[in-house]
Amino acid sequence: MPNLPDPVDLAVPAFVLLVLAEMVVARIKDRSRYCPRDTLTSLMLGFGSTIAGVLAGGLVFGMAVWVHQFRLFDIGYAWYWFILAFVLDDLAYYVFHRSAHRVRWFWASHVIHHSSQHYNLSTALRQTWTGFFSLGFLFRLPLFLIGFPPAMVFFVAGLNLVYQFWIHTEVIGRMPRWFEAVMNTPSHHRVHHATNPRYLDKNYAGVFIIWDRMFGTFEAERDDDRPRYGIVKNLPDFNLIRAAFHEWWGIAKDVWTAPNWHARLMYMIAPPGWSHDGSRDTSETIKARWLAREEAGTAWKKPISSSSEPGPEEAPPQVA
């Protein structure tokens, strides 16, 4: 087995330099793109995610090796297997990412990445501390069962993460049309991070936007509907612990107070915003109400919340 490096570790110096460069551009063109406290929260969440990854990495790799012994095919390390593994891993990422927005258990871990109301390169570093607990690694197990070596899968998964870093920016507008047709881009991913009703639950791609086009989840960015970032109920402050665990706390409270076992289960596996009495908004109800108002020609008002907690009237300050 070849000794493959971790692409993310190698890319860290470039990440730092690019964040600093974008901050300089933002200071010159639009200082509101960066909020120091928000950026610090993103960096600290990224640091905590790295520690969590180190602690859980051995367990995940051990599980991958155990599953790999039941493989259907013996796949080696020829260059073409790396290409196929990269494409299939990106498809697995699409399935995971879509599930992370449609199943509250997975969303509780993934919501951390969406909790910033800014969209810049530091947002790419805002990652979960609870990825192992939420079982997100299960989505890659089919690759090991097919026969792709664990080291190869983790290597191409690292490449996938490195690619996704650069698409978290507003500095880049739109790429050439042929590139936008196949690849995930800053424009496509701005849509994914937006809370505008038109953009909810769209553009789950990691590297190849073709998955969204194939499976009906693609939405193009529009100049007449600029993305608004964050989550439907934005966090009231920059508290690190709140950012890392708020949705897990919400699940625990909902399960504890649910009227029956069916509701308890649904509070964990139903889409974010589901409630046993229908009192909260899901992305479907938000979009349905928006469409009705669009057809009626009335102005759109932001919904109250799709979370388990009542939100503040105002967002955290944009500049600190």
pLDDT at 312: 38
DSSP, collapsed to helix, strand or coil, labels residue 225 as: strand
pLDDT at 304 over 90: no
pLDDT tens digits, residue range 128-155?
A: 999 999 999 999 999 999 999 999 999 9
pLDDT at 42: 95
29 membership: H or E segment, kind and range? helix 7-29
| Nearest to 43, CA basis, from 122, 113, 99 | 122
- Residue 308's pLDDT band (cuts 50, 70, 90): very low
List beta partners, residue 194.
229
| Nearest to 316, CA basis, from 243, 226, 222 | 243
pLDDT at 192: 98
pLDDT at 116 over 70: yes
pLDDT tens digits, residue range 12-28?
A: 999 999 999 999 998 88
Give this prediction's pTM.
0.90
pLDDT at 301 over 80: no
Q: Any idea where the domains of the chain sit in the sequence?
A: 7-22+37-215, 242-296
